[in-house]
Structure 1
Amino acid sequence: MFGFNLPISRQYIVPPIVLATIATVLMAFDMRDALEFHRQLISEGQVWRIWSSQYIHTNWTHLALNLVGILFIWVLHAEHTSIRRYFIHVLFLGLWTGIGIWLFCPDIRVYTGLSGLLHGIIVWGALKDIQVKEPTGILLFLGIVGKLAWEQYAGPSTDVGNLIDSRVAIESHLIGAIGGLVLALPLIKGKLGFAVKQ
């Protein structure tokens, strides 16, 4: 038998609980019409939708899938972060993904969901694993790269799209993952020995 210690300290459990609660409350109060990414309405001045859309969902199944993602990240990487860093990442990646969709994905007219920013958080966590010599870090990173490459080649999953009543925005996964790389630049520089001397 082997032990498996979950990261249950307050600093590790508060951030994912808060994020999950916010997403659930927004779903329960049906805030989609007011907050979703809607290209026409954004062009008319409702620019908050670029960012707010990242935290709402099309239906309860969509939310449940992303809550599983939050749980997965907590189990894997909670101990790499802090309350402050977690929310900086969540806020930055939400804005990064929304702006990326606005600028580079003109075919996406409506968008919702946490999945883009969650991909960014997973990428950052995998690179942090590599920095601290966690043996699964490279495998996780290669797995994410493989998933993203397959999505871009094969296109969005029809089955998942049917579950969430929306096309899976695989572009947001790639944009979010790139945002995770941006957040991880200090880790990469340090790993390669290029850290700036204090």
Structure 2
Amino acid sequence: MSLSNSDFKKGPMNKLIQNTRFMLAPLVLAIILVAIHLNPNVQNWLVLTETDLLRQPWRIFTTHLVHLNDQHLWVNLAALILTAILFRRYIQGRLLLNVMMISALGASLVPILLEQDYDFVGLSGVLHGIFVYVGVSLLRTQRPIGITILMVMIVKLGVDLTLSADESFWLGAQVAYLCHVGGAIGGALAVPGLRRKPIDIVKPKP
């Protein structure tokens, strides 16, 4: 039985799609972030303020799509793409978006509840949540990797706390360390919330 040209091309094309589809959600999000950055008028509808917290609650999530400047945007975009590539075996597609939503909620609520601080934007808190989600998720199946990821995040958050009083040399503003802490908490809570029972998080795999 002979194969037509269309059948011959169909196999490699399907394989290519399967191997790269984990990048679909990050790339779409990257395009959205760039579009928002280029449209200041749109940003005004997304940034969270105290007066809009209850009246326009979507800003709790959308404020993390806005960035202070080009450097802020490109650093977070690079981190998003790198994270999607590194963790593609563990989190992608709808799961990735769900974790980002929960992390965004934590990244907004922690600074608001602790310091009544509404002056924060950017995706970095959400990215912290993704890292913590993967780290906690791997404690059962690949404990050394999970512990390593979580230790790196603990050190990173410690650095954020140390530098919180100073302006970041590349950002030109103070690091929103409470957003990072909140995002990390959101990422940890997303594990039992989305995939497993709490008792299963630290229970070794038989």
- Asked whether 1:34 is paired with 2:45, we answer yes
* Displacement of 1:154: 4.0
Decide whether the 8 Å contact of 1:105 with 1:171 is kept in 2. Answer: no
Work out the CA distance in 1 between the residues paired with 2:54 and 2:143. Answer: 48
Decide whether the 8 Å contact of 1:57 with 1:112 is kept in 2. Answer: yes
Aligned to 2:35: 25
Aligned to 1:117: 126
Distance 1:187 1:10, change over 3 A: farther
- The alignment covers a number of residue pairs equal to 184
**What is the aligned-residue identity percentage?**
23
* Displacement of 1:191: 4.6
- The structure number with the bigger radius of gyration is 2
Aligned to 1:137: 146
Aligned to 1:148: 157
Work out the CA distance in 1 between the residues paired with 2:31 and 2:197. Answer: 30
Work out the CA distance in 1 between the residues paired with 2:48 and 2:28. Answer: 22
Aligned to 1:65: 75
Work out the CA distance in 1 between the residues paired with 2:153 and 2:132. Answer: 7
Work out the CA distance in 2 between the residues paired with 1:149 and 1:82. Answer: 28
Distance 1:193 1:43, change over 3 A: closer
- Asked whether 1:169 is paired with 2:176, we answer yes
| TM-score normalised to structure 2 length | 0.77
Aligned to 2:94: 84
Gaps of 5+ in 2: 1-17
Gaps of 5+ in 1: 1-7
* Displacement of 1:150: 2.9
Work out the CA distance in 2 between the residues paired with 1:141 and 1:65. Answer: 21
Aligned to 1:53: 63
| TM-score normalised to structure 1 length | 0.80
